[in-house]
Amino acid sequence: MAAVDTQKPTEPAAPALPDYVTDPDAVLKDHQAHWRYGRAPDYSKTRKVFAETRSMSHEAGSLPQLVENLVKNWEVEASFKPTLKDWRTVDHENYSFAINGGEPQSAEHMLKQGTYNAIIAPNEYYSPEYSDFSSSHKTFKRMMPTFAWYVLEVYSGPPTVSFRWRHWGTMKNDYVGFDNKGEKVTAKAHGGAIDIQGVTVATVNDKLQLQSVRTWFDPLDMFRQIAPKGVVKKEAVDKSLAPADALDSDIKVELDQTPQAKESSTSELPERHPPIDMQELVEGAGCPFAATNPKEATAVYPPAVVDTTAAADVARRGGEGAAKLVHPEAPISKEKMDIMAKGQQEGFDQDPNLEPAKGERV
């Protein structure tokens, strides 16, 4: 009788993890990819700063390390692979990116605008509206030649991965960028640290490729560290130049500080409000100083008619109403100066309804 083989069947080996979650530099080895500047970028200095200045290290193969590697490879692709089909870290059909609860953006949007422009809203130090991909990289990479990034802690695992991160570097050179008015802003380098933190919630597919990426952080925290006392130099730029060229241009343009004329109130009407004829508005309201007839409200105000005979008769008698024409530049009498100093109007002592305060001279 043949012996029965009771050996348990071998369980299939777990699928190997993709290299972009096990190696932070995996996509830098994609030699067949189309790179923005003709070849893969050199991240050796950033990786060196990361190793020397990080505040913690994750165990090899741990979830925090896998998440950290995935995001680092994604950042390389988003910044330096201009062709979306070369991105290996994202699910092309389901990828979107949003900052601070804003409108989700596609990968194409990030490729066109640049990673910095995709995550920073317009403010008094920087504005993506006046910057392009090239100028944005000049602005930040010149200021901080290395800007390391790593995961602080992971709160949940796939398929929804939520984690807190840190991004830091040293301000070695001046910050030069464009603000939300299109002015060139310069902040002198202070040689200190720039250190920001944030939270990201991302969904991944079964290949651990990014799908929905939602990030929250305070971008102004970085600028408060760039200019800790708020001291910056602002100057207008030649708008005919491309943003990247304008950053390096020495052409000075005077800032127009002329107060802008206040727009007519009619321009503040709702979009579909019917136009207002100001002439009809005046006619309809009437003018209490002209007449009760609204038509007369818009008529030319008639000149005053003076009865010279009656006025002369009153003046001859010295009665009330006699004309007292005094040249405005005539010297003011001492009596009037005393009255003004006391804050009393002329005729105060003649009004029987007003008694002077006790002891007050009138």
Q: What is the mean pLDDT of the chain?
A: 76
pLDDT tens per residue across span 156-177 = 999 999 999 999 999 999 999 9
The residue written with tokens 């001291």 in the block is 231
Q: Which pLDDT score is estimated for 42?
A: 92
pLDDT tens per residue across span 314-323 = 445 544 444 4
In the predicted model, is pLDDT for residue 191 greater than 90? yes
Counting residues of the chain whose pLDDT is more than 70, the rounded percentage is 65
Higher pLDDT, 245 or 292: 245
Give the Å distances, CA to CA, from 242 to 182, 235, 249, 338: 12, 16, 10, 69
Q: For the residues 218-236, what does the mean pLDDT come to? A: 91
Q: How confident is the model at residue 187 (pLDDT cuts 50, 70, 90)?
A: very high
Higher pLDDT, 75 or 280: 75
Q: How confident is the model at residue 341 (pLDDT cuts 50, 70, 90)?
A: very low
Q: For the residues 191-214, what does the mean pLDDT come to? A: 96
Q: Which pLDDT score is estimated for 7?
A: 58
Phi, psi of 3 (to 5 degrees): -70, 145
Q: Which pLDDT score is estimated for 244?
A: 83
Rounded Cα distance between 228 and 222, Å, is 10
Q: For the residues 222-250, what does the mean pLDDT come to? A: 87
Q: Which pLDDT score is estimated for 73?
A: 97
Q: Which pLDDT score is estimated for 316?
A: 53
Give the Å distances, CA to CA, from 359 to 355, 356, 362: 11, 8, 9
Lowest average pLDDT, out of 1-15, 180-194, 195-209, goes to: 1-15
pLDDT tens per residue across span 105-136 = 999 999 988 889 999 999 999 999 999 988 99
Token pair in block for residue 256: 């127009």
Q: Which pLDDT score is estimated for 258?
A: 42
Strand spans (E) along the chain: 96-99, 147-156, 160-170, 175-178, 184-187, 193-204, 210-217, 233-235
pTM (whole model) above 0.85: no
Q: Which pLDDT score is estimated for 301?
A: 37
Q: For the residues 251-257, what does the mean pLDDT come to? A: 54
Rounded Cα distance between 315 and 309, Å, is 10
Q: For the residues 170-192, what does the mean pLDDT come to? A: 94
Token pair in block for residue 16: 């190997």
Q: How confident is the model at residue 335 (pLDDT cuts 50, 70, 90)?
A: low
Kind of pairing between the strands at 210-217 and 184-187: unpaired
In the predicted model, is pLDDT for residue 311 greater than 90? no
In this structure, CATH architecture of domain 19-248 = Roll (3.10)
